[in-house]
Amino acid sequence: MIVKYRNLLPLLVALLLAGCAAPKTAMVKQTSLLMGTVVEITVHHEDPATARKIINEAFAEGTRLQNLLSIYDKNSEISIINRKAGIEEVKVSGEVFSLIEDALSYSELTGGAFDITVGPLLELWGFTPLDAEKKAASRQRQMPDKSAMEKTLSLVGYRDVHLDRSRNTVKLAKRGMKIDLGAIAKGYVVDQMAAVLRAGGIRNALVNAGGDMCALAAPLGKKAWRVGIQDPHSSNSVIDVIGISNEAVATSGDYEKFFVINGKRFSHIIDPGTGYPASGLVSVTVIARTAMEADALSTALFVMGEEKGRELIKEMSGVRAIFFSQ
- Quote the least distance from Cβ 250 to Mg ion, whole Å: 6
Cα(193)–Cα(174) distance, integer angstroms = 34
DSSP code, position 270:
B
Cα(132)–Cα(130) distance, integer angstroms = 7
CB 290 within 8 A of CB 214: yes
Neighbours of 292 (CB within 10 A): 26
**Total site size for ligand ADP, rule CB under 6 A:** 20
- Quote the least distance from Cβ 27 to ligand ADP, whole Å: 26
The footprint of ligand ADP on residues 252-271 (CB under 6 A) is: 252, 256-257, 268-270
**Total site size for Mg ion, rule CB under 5 A:** 5
∠ CA(184), CA(227), CA(26), 5° rounding?
105
Residue nearest to ligand ADP (CB): 182
For 181: left if phi > 0, alpha if psi spans -120 to 50, otherwise beta; the answer is alpha
Stretch that binds ligand ADP, among 72-80, 115-123, 168-176, 307-315 (CB under 6 A): 115-123
Q: Kindly tell me which of 208 and 252 has the beta carbon lying closer to Mg ion.
A: 252
103 binds Mg ion (CB under 5 A): no
The footprint of Mg ion on residues 226-285 (CB under 5 A) is: 252
The footprint of Mg ion on residues 298-317 (CB under 5 A) is: 298-299
Cα(88)–Cα(170) distance, integer angstroms = 9
Among 126, 272, 275, 309, which residue sits at the site for ligand ADP (rule: CB under 6 A)?
272
- Output the CA–CA distances (angstroms, integers) from residue 222 to 48, 62, 103, 191, 212, in the order listed: 19, 27, 34, 22, 21
Among 303, 312, 319, 321, which residue sits at the site for ligand ADP (rule: CB under 6 A)?
303
Among 106, 191, 295, 304, which residue sits at the site for Mg ion (rule: CB under 5 A)?
295
Q: Kindly tell me which of 74 and 167 has the beta carbon lying closer to ligand ADP.
A: 74
H or E segment to which residue 53 belongs:
helix 48-69
Q: Kindly tell me which of 43 and 116 has the beta carbon lying closer to ligand ADP.
A: 116
Q: Kindly tell me which of 45 and 186 has the beta carbon lying closer to ligand ADP.
A: 186
- Output the CA–CA distances (angstroms, integers) from residue 173 to 68, 130, 155, 183, in the order listed: 22, 21, 9, 22
Which residues in this chain contact Mg ion in the complex, by CB under 5 A?
183, 252, 295, 298-299
Which residues in this chain contact ligand ADP in the complex, by CB under 6 A?
114-116, 118, 122, 180, 182-183, 186, 252, 256-257, 268-270, 272, 295, 298-299, 303
